[in-house]
Structure 1
Amino acid sequence: MSLHNKILIAKHFKNSVFRNTAVLIIILFIGILLLYAAFSGWQKYTHQRHTSEKYQQQSREDWLKNPDKNPHRMAHYGNFAFRKNTSLSVFEFGMEPFFGNAIFLEAHKQNTANFSEAGFSNSMLRFGEITIAMILQILLPLLIFFIGFNAIAAERENGTLKLILSQGVSWKELLWGKIFGIASVIMMLFVPAIMVLVFIWMLLQNFTISWDETIKLLLFIGFHFIYLMFFCTIAVLISAASATSKKALISLIGIWLIFTIILPRGTQALGAYIYEAPSKIQFNSNIEKDILQQGDSHNPNDVHYKAIKDSLLLAYKVDSVQKLPFNYSGFIMAEGEKISARIYNQHLDTLLQVYDKQNSFSKAISFVNPYIAIKNLSMALSNTDYDSYIDFQKQAEKYRYDMAQKMNALQIKYISNKKQKPGDKPYTIHKNHWADVQEFYYQPKGVFLVLKNEIISIFSIILWVGLLFILIRLAAKNLKAI
């Protein structure tokens, strides 16, 4: 197989593409869209980053500025956890506009993330936002099909296909030459977009680069390159198998619609229908019901906590909680927090299992749809996928639980059991203790955990690449000039 022949075929195809004014206009338009997507992504990233840092700092300052106070009151005063976006989210918004990025953390209660962009936007957000990832994953494949539908079908219609093959060019050389020709056109958009991506990515990190983020960036670029080459190959194979350019164009548009619109929406709807998740109201109601069955830590006559009280009095050989060597209310609050957190986590794990079953449809369909595979990988590497959102929720819940138990421990240790008389100053501890609770810091998932979670998407892409090589070999043996 001659490399020289493939290069000549690729150059000839590229020159023929640029003789078409409509193609030039479309390429220019997509180039402008890429610049707009880069600018809007950078603008959105900087705004969200600034907002998160500003209010996280303000929340921390408000927490530390609290005066001397009872620790239990501080636990109910609460704190905030903010989710900061990563640098690659500039190019892939993923599910971020629909998920909240701030959670109010308080004792005895688990809240969900709020302040999502979708909550403050109009219905146009449902149509998606223009991002570099969206252009690479949806618009460029459509452009590939538009410029590649007649790559070989037109040669067959014009009668030049027999002449090319009769001059010693093999089918394999012709197929690869056309694939490289389409790829050379697409690279005129892809390469500048990647250069802009890398520059903005480095700028957002003040040119201080971590290995983890660097690997994510390289994988982001590499997977998208493979994805585009896949569509170049599909365009040429369909064109070679079609009797006319018109049939090839109709087939390719149908494939594009199935890959990018029908299958993603259909599998998502099917998963949600088969594995129905409870509503937020029902979810919270079930938790509250189970907690009440265990006991109410704020009710001194509750059966569960009365049994704890009796066992403590017996163990310490005293006849009242005021004579215990530690604060009884703080001990009960700590026990209540432990029970409520355990029940919440049990219900949350059950809910997440339902969502995992729903998402399993999407992951499974990636074996027949490369768009879903690249979309899942792109969101995971950019930390804007569903798993990243759940990871943020879990980190925030762990912080909330530790904060509440820290306040309960301070109450147990420093607050007296002695009953206060009317008019007495409430029991408090020094405000310096508030600094014992560390500031919340969200840690995004590392690249190896991302790859582990998306192993199905990676395998599906590998299988697709292998399948295309097989199809090229089969096509080169079985295709006819007429």
Structure 2
Amino acid sequence: MKFLHTEFLIARHFKKSVFKNPAVFIITIFIGILLLYAAFSGWENYTNQNETSEKYQHESRKDWLNNPDKNPHRMAHYGNFAFRKSTSLSVFEFGMEPFFGNAIFLEAHKQNTANFSEAGFSNSMLRFGEISIAMVLQVLLPLLIFFLGFNSIAYERENGTLKLLLSQGISWKQLLTGKIMGIASVIMLLFIPTVIILVLVWLALQNFNISVDETLKMLLFIVFHFIYLIFFCIIAVLISASAKTSKKALISLIGIWLVFTIILPRTTQAIGAYLYEAPSKIQFNSDIEKDILKQGDSHNPNDPHYKAIKDSLLTVYKVDSVQKLPFNYSGFIMTEGEKISSNIYKKHLEELLKIYEEQNSFSKAVSFLNPYIAMKNLSMGLSNTDYDSYIDFQKQAEDYRYDMAQKMNGLQIKYISNKKPGATDKPLTIDKEHWADVDEFHYEPKGIWDVLKSEIISIISIILWISLLFALIRIAAKNLKAI
């Protein structure tokens, strides 16, 4: 109890001395205003995007169902839309969401990519990053921590009070711990209100109807950001304790901040992209088209692959023309063509994703050297604004597109006659009630266990970093000198 009492006294004294500096008040208020603005802009962005996505998803569904009697193959080409709604935690962590599209046009025989990203409709300032609560917590608060802690012990050494403190029976461990607690107590004046606002906004967005999955994501979001901030409090005090002067401590801490939050993240992205080069979009689509043409063109009646299918069907059903088959031949061929093109697309996509996974794995490996990258990756994963979530949306949309196309082909096989109508005959169609056989698209974000599985490296990295720093406190307490 005496040990804790001493630590609390040191922490309280540090907190009082910090607020004697008017600059601390100004910076704290400024960051507080930024946090409020980030919460407001995140709320506005979330509600606008989800209202827009929901509106156009329903309009797309309405347009689909309101189509008149039509040939089902025409309906497959008429297509549909898949929209991605944001999750509630994306209010606080924008991640890669502004740069990824949130809508995909789905049609037969063709796989499109997501379009209509926020960056596509914004000016170049978006490239400098938007102000989100996560950005303030991960980038600006560590800088504030370093500003508060650079002279926490170095100043005591400079003015001679460090010797006096240690001579009065205060141990290095007590001093280091007390200073860390003092910096943390100042930061909590911003962090705790932020958490309260964060939780209230999160609850309001879900109408206070929360799931276990979302609750776990929210708790992990708060806990890991708290650990992350304590990490920087420890670094600030350790650097200050080892520096001969406050000036040297400040320069060292600013250097660490620049390396962690700016230099390393951009460098690792560039190196990862260089080491594991991905094909361009044009090359990717071109390679798919080449493989499809090698396999066969379902729209070409003289294509060798599909001609062989035709001959085998005529033999099996013992007829001399496709018009005499008991099912629609064209629909059968379209089903085969859709299956082949979809499998080829998935094969190429998997190869591309392996390259991107190697790029991302390089960045994740560097998180063992940089806790900021680990925290950023985990934060984006929990809020479903990371690259994996975008790919998951693409895959869900592709599964829906394939199912839609094959259902239309199935209707054509079953209901459309092989006999072509005459010039004055009514076109071959089916009743529009069949369009309801295709369900409306609904995007399902990744669950908590999938997120933890994909971000296990980030979690291990953060735990290892904080464990290492606590170990360094013990080592420093035994080896630091007053002079």
Which TM-score bucket, shorter chain as reference? over 0.9
Deviation, 1:262, is 0.3
Structure 1, unmatched stretches of 5+, are: none
Tell whether 2:119 aligns with 1:118: yes
Alignment of 1:99-114 (within 5 A): 99-114=100-115
Provide the residue aligned with 1:73 in structure 2: 74
Alpha-carbon distance in structure 2 between the residues aligned to 1:118 and 1:50: 18
Instruction: State how far apart, in whole Å, the 2-side matches of 1:309 and 1:124 are.
Output: 57
2:273 maps to which residue?
A: 272
Which amino acid in the other structure matches residue 234 of structure 1? Answer: I
Structure 1 CA distance, aligned partners of 2:181 and 2:374?
Answer: 23
Distance 2:377 2:265 in 1: 11
Mapped to 2, the partners of 1:226 and 1:377 lie a distance apart of 13
| Letter of the 1:231 counterpart | F
Which residue identity does 2:128 align to in structure 1? F
Q: Secondary structure at the match of 1:2?
A: helix
Aligned to 2:251: 250
One-letter code aligned to 1:252: L
| Equivalent residue runs for 1:28-47 within 5 Å | 28-47=29-48
Q: Which residue of 1 aligns with 2:363?
A: 362
Distance 1:109 1:425 in 2: 29
Which residue in 2 is equivalent to 1:427? 428
Report the counterpart of residue 51 of structure 1 in structure 2: 52
Separation (CA, whole Å) in 2 of partners of 1:169 and 1:119: 59
Give the corresponding residue for 1:200.
Answer: 201
Q: Could you tell me how far 1:177 is from its partner in structure 2?
A: 0.2
Deviation of the 1:274 alpha carbon: 1.3
Deviation of 1:15 (Å) = 0.3
Shift of 1:424: 1.3
Q: Distance in 1 between matches of 2:424 and 2:352?
A: 48
Offset of 1:215 from its aligned partner?
0.3
TM-score by length of 1: 1.00
* Displacement after TM superposition at 1:417 (Å): 1.0
Deviation readout 1:362-400 (Å, 9 max, x if unpaired) = 100000100000000000000000000000000000000
Identical counterparts, % of pairs: 80
Q: What is the deviation of 1:307?
A: 0.2
Task: Tell me the residue number matched to 2:230.
Answer: 229
1:17 correspondence with 2:18 = yes
Measure how far apart 1:421 and its partner are. 1.7
TM-superposed CA distance for 1:466, in Å, is: 1.1
Q: Map of 1:78-477 to 2, 5 A cutoff?
A: 78-477=79-478
Question: Once the two structures are superposed, what CA deviation does each residue of 1:181-223 show, in whole Å capped at 9, x if it has no partner?
Answer: 0000000000001100000000000010100000000000000
Cα shift at 1:347: 0.5
* CA deviation string 1:133-189 (max 9, x = no partner): 000000000000001000000000010001111111110000000000000000000
Give the Cα separation in 1 of the matches to 2:159 and 2:179.
Answer: 16
Q: Equivalents in 2 of 1:320, 1:365: separation in Å? A: 64
Please tell me the residue identity of whatever aligns with 2:26: I
CA distance in 1, matches of 2:17, 2:391: 50
What SS class does the counterpart of residue 353 from structure 2 fall into? helix
Matched with 1:4 is 5
**1:411: Cα distance to partner?**
0.3
Secondary structure in 2 aligned to 1:80?
strand
Q: What is the Cα-based RMSD across aligned positions, in Å?
A: 0.6
How far the C-alpha of 1:419 sits from its partner, in A, is 2.6
Which letter maps to 1:461?
I
The alignment partner of 2:105 has SS state of: strand
1-structure distance, mates of 2:333, 2:482: 84
In 1, Cα distance between equivalents of 2:47 and 2:123: 22
Measured in 2, the distance between the counterparts of 1:271 and 1:449 equals 24
Q: Tell me the alpha carbon deviations over residues 225-279 of structure 1, each in whole angstroms, 9 at most, x when there is no partner.
A: 0000000000000000000000000000000000000000000000111111111
Aligned residues: 482
Dislocated runs of 4+, deviation >2 Å: none
Q: Is the partner of 2:104 in helix, strand or coil?
A: strand
Residue 433 of structure 1 aligns to which amino acid in structure 2? H
